[in-house]
């Protein structure tokens, strides 16, 4: 089974895909400031460690690990150097934790490569919200209906974007394996 992760310091999306390419489990772990008032990334990493240990303890035989690679350049979304450094640090902490728990190194997939492997094309230069909505639509149409919940303004709750990204990462890992084996 393949575990795919979409890591940020506010939400970690996860997805498990079986050897036939079926999404069998997905979800997201909230790391918002209201749950971690001191915003301590070490406590957040411990929380994620406990969630990953639960996946392992529940008997899900993870054989491959894929993580969405963090952005390595400034984007139009206004990320500061401080925010990017914090995200890179947290991504490394979770990556190391995943390796320690499952006994294998995760492969980090570039978001554009992962989407391409899943036959998802996104026009460059679009608004980030349009991109997130397109990814969510693609996942619900092609892989798994995420039973999306909506805000009072009829927008998807943001946690579903992280779940959809995790499904894309896991499915890209699955498709990458198919490409490599012929």
Q: What residue spans define the domains of the chain?
A: 2-181
Average pLDDT of span 156-171:
93
* Contact between 26 and 15 (Cβ < 8 Å): yes
Q: Which residues touch 171 (CB under 8 Å, ≥6 apart)?
A: 4, 15, 17, 21, 23, 117, 118, 143
Q: How many CB atoms lie within 10 A of CB 75?
A: 9
pLDDT of 73 above 60: no
Window from 35-39, 69-73, 130-134, 171-175 with minimum mean pLDDT: 69-73
Taking the model in full, what pTM does it have?
0.88
Residue listed under structure tokens 């909506």: 150
Which CATH code, of 3.30.420.10, 3.40.50.10800, 1.10.10.10, 3.40.1260.20, is assigned to 2-181? Answer: 3.30.420.10
Angle, vertex CA 57, rays to CA 53 and CA 63, nearest 5: 80
């Amino acid at each position: 089974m393949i575990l795919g992760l979409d890591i940020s310091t506010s939400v970690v999306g996860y997805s498990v895909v079986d050897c036939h390419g079926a999404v069998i489990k997905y979800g997201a772990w909230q790391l918002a400031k209201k749950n971690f008032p001191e915003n301590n990334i070490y406590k957040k990493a411990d929380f994620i460690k406990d969630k990953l240990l639960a996946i392992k303890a529940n008997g899900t035989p993870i054989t491959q690990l894929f993580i969405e690679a963090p952005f390595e350049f400034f984007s139009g979304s206004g990320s500061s150097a401080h925010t990017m450094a914090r995200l890179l640090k947290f991504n490394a902490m979770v990556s190391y934790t995943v390796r320690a728990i499952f006994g294998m190194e995760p492969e980090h997939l570039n978001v554009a490569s992962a989407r391409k492997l899943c036959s998802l094309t996104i026009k460059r230069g679009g608004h980030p919200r349009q991109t997130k909505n397109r990814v969510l639509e693609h996942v619900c149409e092609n892989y798994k209906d995420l039973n999306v919940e909506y805000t009072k303004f009829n927008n998807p709750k943001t946690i579903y974007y992280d779940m959809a990204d995790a499904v894309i990462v896991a499915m890209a890992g699955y498709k990458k394996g198919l490409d490599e084996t012929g």
